Each structure stands twice: as structure tokens, then as C-alpha cells.
Structure 1
Amino acid sequence: MTFVETLETVWTPRVQSVLRIVTAYLFLLHGSSKLLLIPYNERYEDLQYFSITGFAGMLELVGGALLILGLFTRPVAFLLSGEMAFAYFMAHASADTFLAPLMNRGEPAVLFCFIFFFLAFAGGGAWSVDKLIAKRE
């Protein structure tokens, strides 16, 4: 097996799992900050759970936890990709900064959106509950 073949067959699925886990953890922190106030952010102290931000927090907390585990990776990642696209257009993009995420502070939303979009098609990688379930079948 050549070096490139080793990278593709052995290491790519593992690094894909690392990308999923780290991204999901960072995403989960957004939800826990909104809903559990951990880490504390005074902006969310009086959050209404049935608001758009409260609903986003629920998606971030539950979706982040599922992605950390690699459970239902593809559908959860697709849903969260859509959430982040929605977040970008609702909270960041305006007519004059639509194509400039640096100017509208939308970079995290764009990155989360496209990483989740990738995971929706690529799956959870080697270290995921989805992979364990697939092996049993």
C-alpha cells in the first residue's frame, strides 16, 4: 500500500471523525450557552425558549451532541447546515455585506454551514456510532 493509499483508506475517515467531533463540540457550546448559560453569556440570560434563538439553541445542543457521537450524522448534519444558512441570511447578511462575511461577522455561520453540508454527504467517519451500527448489519 502506497503512502497516498494509506492516507485515503486509513487516515481520511479518522480525520473526518476528528473534524466532526471538534466542530460538533464547538457547535454544542453555542446551544449550551443559550439554553444552560454554560459558558455564561449575559445576552442569553432572559432567552425565551420558544423564540427563534431558543429553537436554534435546542438544535445546537441536541444536534451537537448527536454529531459528537456520530449518531444520525447525515440527516442531523443536513438539518444543521440549513440552520446555519438560515442564521447567516437572517442575522448577518445585508444588502451591502452579503458577500463579505468578514464584515458582517458571519464567518462562523458560513463555516458551520459548509462543514455540516460536507458531513451530510460524507458521513461521520471511522469513529462514529453510525459506523458501529453499519458493521452490525
Structure 2
Amino acid sequence: MPVPTATRKCRTTTCIFWAARTWGVCCPEGGAVPDFVYRILPGRPDFVATITEAERAVMGAHFAYLQDLHAKGCIRFVGRTEAGEYGIIVFSAVDIEAARATAIADPAVAVGVVTAEVHPFRIVDFG
């Protein structure tokens, strides 16, 4: 799968994280990196309405994981649909393999509470 040609300069040079038993780097020493999106899909349509305490704990770990990536400068933005059909995480990674490793390392993905689809992503800036 080709990576997008559009890249951006990193906001930080310290965004190194452990993912899927390999090191992934989203911001190598001041280099430009492409953006990716991973879309998370809950295991059932009524997930938000019927979430269990165990799933709530996993989603708390998921949120902490995203906060950590954000603090390291990897996250561009995150959000979910109002009813919770899916969520998206737009982030930077050096390549598609590192992007996939980032998604796989998400605690909610790792334990199967949600599934993830990873795609190259291009943000359009009208400014």
C-alpha cells in the first residue's frame, strides 16, 4: 500500500512509542512524516448504550493511550460519531507499518473490544 505524498513537520522530536513488539517512530528527528487515520469500530451496534464495566475499563485505557500519543505530538485529532458507530484517530507515523503498529497497540484494539482499519490520510487545510 503506498503512503501519501503529503507530509508535515513534526511538532516534537520525542514521539517514540512501543507498539506491537517493535519500535514505531511517529516523529523522527525533525523530519516530515505522513498522516494516517485509524477508524475504530465497536464489536456491536449498541456498544455505547450497553457497555460493560470491563469494556469501560478497556476504553479508559484506550483514552489514556490516545492522551499519551497526543502528549508526544503524534495525534492530529480524534473523535467519534454522536451515537458511537465508529471513531477516528488521525495521527502521524513514519510509514504504514508504524501506523498499523500504533493501531494494534491501542489497548481497545489489542483485546478485541474494537477493531481498527488503518489508512493513509490527507488533511486539507483551507487556511
TM-score, with normalisation over the residues of structure 1?
A: 0.28
Q: Which has the higher contact order (CA 8 A, sep 6+)?
A: 2
TM-score, with normalisation over the residues of structure 2?
A: 0.30
Which protein has the bigger helix share? 1
Larger radius of gyration: 1
Which protein has the bigger strand share? 2
